Structure 1
Amino acid sequence: MSDIIKLLPDSVANQIAAGEVIQRPASAVKELIENAVDANSTRIQLAVKDAGRTLIRVIDNGSGMSETDARMSFERHATSKINDAQQLFSITTKGFRGEALASIAAVAQVDMQTRSHHQDVGTRILIEGSRVKSQNPEACPVGTSIAVRNLFFNVPARRNFLKSDPVELRHIIEEFHRVALAHPDIAFSLTHNDNALFDLPAGKRKQRIVGIFGEKFNERIVPVEEETPVLKIEGFVGKPEFSRKTRGEQYFFVNNRFIKSGYLNHAVNIAYQELLQSSDYPAYFLYLQIDPAEIDINIHPTKTEIKFKDEKLVYAMLNSAVKRALGRFNLTPTLDFERETSFDFPEQPNSREVRPPTIDINPDYNPFRQPGGNQGVKSGHSEAFRKLRDMYEGVQNDVQTIQQDSTVPGTAALFNSDEEKNEYPCFQMHQKYIVTSIRSGILWIHQQRAHERVLYEQLVANMAHNKQATQQALFPDTLRFTAAESELLRSMLPEVRQLGFDLEEMGNQGFVVNGLPVDAAHRDPRSLIEELLEQYQLHGAKETLRTSDRLARSLAATLAIKTGQRLQQEEMRDLLDRLFGCEVPGRSPSGKPTIVSFTLDEIDAKFD
């Protein structure tokens, strides 16, 4: 039998390695700008075209490379960061594995120009699919300029699996955020298709946060400071009232390296435990400085996972630091559960005479007597008792359950007639549920989910027939958003207009709002659009949904009646009438139940 195991060529091995390191254009962006940071640059420029498919260019003014180093940098496991295994436990640079440039060159066409400070002439290298096409002297400024063209040109399967340009660009922006936030002392810029998205000057951490996420963050975050001989924690956490429904601005940095850690995230969430609902997520930008010997970052090629020698200590200190920051700025309620409150009587003046309480009884009062039959009965009380009597006397004994995994039967299955439907009262419970009696028992309706279903079907129908009405603004509003928000809004502008928004793009991440949907005309344009984008990202997990359907769900969730909102009797009846007129009244657009029924048998069983 002949030998069958063979050593793979370097070009094939590099393509295999590229599958782990370079997964999408954003991966190449991350590796290139981290290399620029390691080169001690003070300014880094990033330019991309077609969301990185056509071009990714990174220009820095760092130390540059010699002719030999420039060529060696494209070899696998060639690095200037470490010399032996012992240095893995004292790493302070972004890179150290020596895989990034080799992996990028294996799946793209790379053009690199570089010159070090002590050289008069630089070097230009052209590489395509791991093969060096040329290497020549080149007049160029100090630093390095590297252009990556036609990423995955020789791996069609990987190129075909890339998402749409807006999605890939959002990933690039996120990687840009992570490095820019970690190094506020470096100036960064980002352009896409020759449109400037960011131009961030060097500054302080808060200036960098505000420069990326907008002026609104000036008032939304509070500082965190904690220092011990083992760990130093600095940064900012968001105020509870500005929490979001999506995991947006949440960043951990360990020794200026962005990391992902569910364990540390749990420590922060516990600090907010009494301030936020379980579905809300706070913003935080936390920077941890620790001895490199106390951590291990050589876990994954992306270097976003980390191991601490003493995770419990880091957890406890981080939780304590965040709690202290929230308490320092009076954001955490102070409750004394050990204080005895039985003796908390209001102070009375000495001159006031103390009298025992008395009860006035009307022996002729009858709550079920018709108005006018007894002069001692007040009409308000009579009406209240009449509704209470009707609610309990109107329930019949035939049992009909409503299956939660199917659509709710129409109103004909719940009421004998329209007159009977109007006769049954309904009331609000905890400003969250609407309770009404039917011939088979009692219905509990989740008011927010029910309204979402009504609005969703209305929006879908209007978009299908192009009938969405717009309330024009008397004075147009000019709004500016973050780069990620503006790119997301730009990518779905036609569908947004179908919902009734009259928006015009004005450049520089700005939009002019000329009108809003009629149902949303009372809302503030900025908060409405920001909440719409947040809800859209929240529904983004379901990639199979069309953009128009996701937008309809998002706007319905944005405009729906919220828990805690008090409803009048007419509003509750109108909501129920519209809900039972929907095609799928029993489920919200996200698939959660809107109606739960309790039959008379189930209620009777509770009293047995």
Structure 2
Amino acid sequence: MQNIIHLLPDSIANQIAAGEVVQRPASVVKELLENAVDAGATSVQLVVREAGRTLIQVIDDGKGMTETDARMSFERHATSKIRTSDDLFKIRTMGFRGEALASIAAVAQVEMRTRKADDEVGTLIRIEGSDIKAQESVSCLPGTNILVKNLFFNVPARRNFLKSNSVEMRHIIDEFQRVALANSEVTFSLFHNDQEVFNLPGGKLSRRIVDMFGKAYREQLAACDEETPYVSVHGFIGKPESARKTRNEQFFFVNNRFIKHNYLHHAVVGAYEGTIPEGHHPFYVLFIDIDPSHIDINIHPTKTEIKFDDERSVYAIVMAAVRKAMGIYNLSPSLDFESDVNFLDGGGAAIAKQFEPGGKHSATAKNGGGSSVPRPITPSWAQPAPADRAPAAKPAPPARPQQPSPQNWQAMFDGAARPATARSRPEKPVGDDVNWLDDRPVPMPDAPVDVPADATPVAANIPVAEPATSAEPPVTMGSRANRMGQSGTVEAMPGEAETAVIQVQNRFLVTTVKSGLLLIDQRGAYERILYDQFHTALTKHGGSSQQVLFPKTVTVSAVDYQVALDLRTELESVGFQFDELGANTFVIRGIPAQIADESGRRAGEEELFANLLAQLRADTGKLKLDRSEALARSLARRSASRYVKFLSPSERRALVDQLFASANPSYTPGGEAITSVVSLDKLSGLFKA
């Protein structure tokens, strides 16, 4: 019987190993940079072409290798960093996986020149698909110069699965930043297609952060340092006001190795609790030093996930270190112990003394003769009507307003029928102003609020379709809303009278429908409308642009810079106009007309553009969307937040009309609900015991 089990050739075995080690060009960059750092290099240069498809070159001034070591480095399971099994639990070096160079050489054309400082000549080795083509002595500088050309040249299927150049370049920059942050004393540089992307001189960690992410971080960093017998934490955190909505600039390093650890991230976010808005994420670069025997780094092929033998202790120490840094630099809110919080307490003698002449809160009023008469500051609910107000000779402590008795419960609703005073809202038809729950100042009775003829409403920035010229009466907001049933479908009830739309806290819209109350998320409605318009502009390449009066300069990260260049055609299709200024900087000359401010001013173009690129990078990474879809979603989400503001009655009606004219008025592009109907039965149940 013939045997069927046999050993694989080395070339095929190396290709199988390469499937785990070399997933994309960024994987090659990571291995080569870590090997350069482990070799004791003080200067490392990375040269990339076509996002690593055609060339990845790493030049270092490290120790170099002898001819024998250079040849052995391409053998499987060859390493200089592990001798016994115990060494696996004491690893402090980076690129210790012996199959790295062998796997890279199996799927690329590799050329390496290396020389030790004591040797007169160096060694040149050429390998293609695990086959050694040449090995000879050459003259070269001390250190190692390795070139990886035509990655996946012999595995076309793997090459076809690579993403676009911008996506692959973003992954390369991510790996470059992680190695550069972990080794701030080493000089790093990065060139892509003969253009310099990074030039980072060696120095302190704070300087490395500023050089890498921009000068804006110079005033946002707070040092974090905590020493314990079990673990030590050091690094920098960002101030709460610098928190962003995307998780792009957050780094954890354990023994100088970058890791991803959601449990420790929760510890940092927990330390920021109450200081940053919900949905925002702080910036941090934190290094954790711990005995290697307390961690296990061999649970993931890329070594980005590790386990601690006591995660709870590490969690508590990290949180304490961040809170300590925030306290030292006064980044967390503090209590004001000087203020008197017992203003309405029964003992008003001490408070009244503050309102006496010369007191802390005394106020004066000029009388007819020009003399100064003390005037007490009285709470708004205790002030009499203007006609009955008279100067008080001696201030009295404020009294608690008298509450109506249970027998006289009608007094609780007297405000609805009481005549308008200086402190009450003027009586107006319900349809004119029903935004009772917002915080706008109340107009005086003799100063009615009129919308100026030349005022541009918020909803005017989003064009409304022209009414149909037919015998059928036009479809108004009232008819659209009243045709929404419990299921969210539209019922045919043309010609119905217009219904009022109430705005609640500048955030929600409420109106009546046939089956109950219709609730509309204002931000979600704008997101749906803007998404439809941006998607149409990207499809037809007909987006309108509004020129900026004074061009704005914005500096973004190197990753976002690559995103903008790759999506330039799409960004210009929706209305952005910008020019490259070099060094990750753009000059913005125009923005989409749909996201203009209601007064016609263009405010915050730099922040809008930078946040859009960050949001676009996050959306592209989480969802498998095409470029146009991702851009339309990101731009709509970023722009919709600008419209969470007060709307006039006409703007509310226009918004509802535009929403129900869209393709899907019930959900945002991301799947969040926009509308909700509260049935009459549910409303009745709220008032039943």
Match of 1:457 among 504, 528, 532: 532
Kindly provide the amino acid, as one letter, of the partner of residue 108 in structure 1.
A
Letter in 1 for 2:115: R
The answer as to 2:639 corresponding to 1:559 is yes
Deviation per CA, 1:558-583, whole angstroms, max 9, x where unpaired?
A: 22145863333333222222212222
CA distance, structure 1, for counterparts of residue 414 and residue 428 of structure 2: 12
* 1:521-541 alpha-carbon deviations (Å, 9 max, x no partner): 513221111111122123214
Match in the other structure for 1:64:
64
Which deviates the most, 480-489 or 88-97? 88-97
* Match of residue 363 from structure 2: none
- Contact map agreement 1:246 1:538 (CA 8 A) in 2: yes
Distance 2:629 2:297 in 1: 42
| SS of residue in 2 equivalent to 1:209 | helix
Cα distance, 1:430–1:144 mapped onto 2, change above 3 Å? same
Equivalent position amino acid for 2:504 in 1: M
Counterpart Cα distance in 2 of 1:456 and 1:44: 44
Return the alpha-carbon distance in structure 2 between the equivalents of residues 145 and 368 of structure 1: 83
Amino acid at match of 1:105: A
- Residue 463 of structure 1 deviates from its aligned partner by 3.7
Q: In the alignment, does 2:562 pair up with 1:487? A: yes
Matches of 2:158 and 2:326, distance apart in 1: 46
Q: In 2, Cα distance between the equivalents of 1:378 and 1:231?
A: 61
Q: In the alignment, which of 589, 593, 606 is matched to residue 518 of structure 1?
A: 593
Q: Which moved more, 1:484-493 or 1:309-318?
A: 309-318
Larger Cα-atom Rg: 2
CA distance in 2, matches of 1:465, 1:399: 32
Assess if the C-alpha contact under 8 Å between 1:399 and 1:601 holds in 2. no
Q: CA deviation at 1:334?
A: 4.0
SS at match of 1:507: coil
> Among 610, 627, 633, which residue is 1:547 paired with?
627
Counterpart contact for 2:483–2:513, Cα < 8 Å: no
More deviation, 526-535/62-71: 526-535
Q: How does 1:589-608 map to 2 (within 5 A)?
A: 589-608=669-688
Q: Are 1:401 and 2:485 matched, yes or no?
A: yes
Q: Counterparts of 1:167 and 1:381 in 2: how far apart (Å)?
A: 59
1:348 is aligned to 352
Task: Note if 1:37 corresponds to 2:37.
Answer: yes
- Structure 1 residues 268 and 313, CA gap change in structure 2 (3 angstroms): same
Partner Cα distance (1:2, 1:23) in 2 = 37
2:564 is the counterpart of 1:472: no
Matched positions, count: 590
Q: Which amino acid aligns with 1:8?
A: L
Which of 567, 575, 592 aligns to 1:500? It is 575
Cα drift, residue 381 of structure 1: 4.7
Q: Which amino acid aligns with 2:495?
A: S
Shift, 1:379, TM fit: 10
Of residues 372, 383, 405, the one that matches 2:428 is 383
Aligned position for 1:24: 24
1:166-190 per-residue CA deviation (whole Å, 9 max, x = no partner) reads 1111000000010000000000001
Indicate yes or no: 2:615 matched with 1:535.
yes
Q: CA 1:159/1:462 → structure 2, altered by over 3 Å: closer, same or farther? A: closer
Unaligned runs of 5+ residues in structure 1 are none
CA contact (8 A) 2:556 2:585 kept: yes
Letter in 2 for 1:546: D
The answer on whether the counterparts of 1:233 and 1:286 sit within 8 Å (CA) in structure 2 is: yes
Does 2:7 match 1:7? yes
Pairing 1:154-233 to 2, within 5 Å after superposition? 154-233=154-233
In structure 2, distance between residues paired with 1:146 and 1:214: 30
Alpha-carbon distance, 1:52 to partner: 0.6
The verdict on how the C-alpha distance between 1:312 and 1:490 changes in structure 2, with shifts beyond 3 A counting, is same
Displacement of 1:119: 0.1
Distance in 1, Cα, partners of 2:261 & 2:11: 34
Once residues 635 and 677 of structure 2 are traced to their aligned partners in structure 1, the CA distance between those partners, rounded to angstroms, is 28
Contact 1:432–1:563 (Cα < 8 Å) also in 2: no
User: SS in structure 2 opposite 1:445?
Assistant: strand
For residues 31 and 366 of structure 1, do their structure 2 counterparts lie closer, same or farther at Cα, with a shift above 3 Å needed? closer
Distance (whole Å) between structure 2 residues aligned to residue 60 and residue 210 of structure 1: 24
C-alpha RMSD of matched pairs (Å): 3.3
Aligned residue type for 2:669: P
When structure 1 is superposed on structure 2, of 179-188 and 547-556 the one drifting more is: 547-556
Contact 1:245 1:538 in 2 (8 A): no
- 1:253-332 pair list within 5 angstroms: 253-332=253-332
TM-aligned CA deviation for residue 342 of structure 1: 6.2
CA contact (8 A) 1:367 1:385 kept: no
Q: CA deviation at 1:108?
A: 0.9
**Aligned-partner Cα distance in 2 for 1:377–1:481:** 51
Matched residues in 1 for 2:682 and 2:325: separation? 50
Counterpart residue identity of residue 91, structure 2: I
Q: Secondary structure at the match of 2:669?
A: coil
What residue is the counterpart of 1:581 in the other structure? 661
Name the CA distance, whole Å, in 2 between partners of 1:107 and 1:589.
Answer: 41
* Pairing partner for 1:426 from 501, 509, 524: 501
Q: 1:234 touches 1:286 (CA, 8 Å); kept in 2?
A: yes
Conservation of the 8 A alpha-carbon contact between 1:189 and 1:199: yes
Moved more, 576-585 or 589-598: 576-585
* CA displacement, residues 393-436 of structure 1 (integer Å, 9 cap, x when unaligned): x99xx996343xxxx445x65x6536x22xx2222223321112
Residue 495 of structure 2 corresponds to: 417
3-state SS, counterpart of residue 560 of structure 1: helix
Amino acid across the alignment from 1:141: L
After superposition, what is the alpha-carbon deviation per residue over 1:38-81, rounded to whole angstroms, capped at 9, x for unaligned? 00000000011111111100000000000000001111111111
What is the rounded CA distance, in whole Å, between the counterparts of 2:145 and 2:627 in structure 1?
Answer: 38
Distance 1:386 1:56 in 2: 67
Secondary structure, aligned partner of 1:348: helix
Aligned mates of 2:685, 2:148 — CA distance in 1: 71
Instruction: Tell me which amino acid in the other structure corresponds to 2:240.
Output: P
Query: Cα distance, 1:209 vs. partner?
Result: 0.9
- For the 8 Å contact 1:240–1:282, the answer to whether it is kept is yes
CA contact (8 A) 1:435 1:444 kept: yes
474-483 vs 231-240, which deviates more? 474-483
Is the 8 Å Cα contact of residues 368 and 386 (structure 1) preserved in structure 2? Answer: no
Distance 1:469 1:198 in 2: 35
Question: What residue is the counterpart of 1:444 in the other structure?
Answer: 519
Partner of 2:364: none
User: Contact (CA 8 Å) 1:431, 1:563: kept in 2 or not?
Assistant: no
Measure how far apart 1:89 and its partner are. 2.4
2:530·2:594 contact (CA, 8 Å) conserved in 1?
A: no
The one-letter amino acid of 2:568's match is L
Asked whether the 8 Å contact 1:401–1:598 carries over to 2, the reply is no
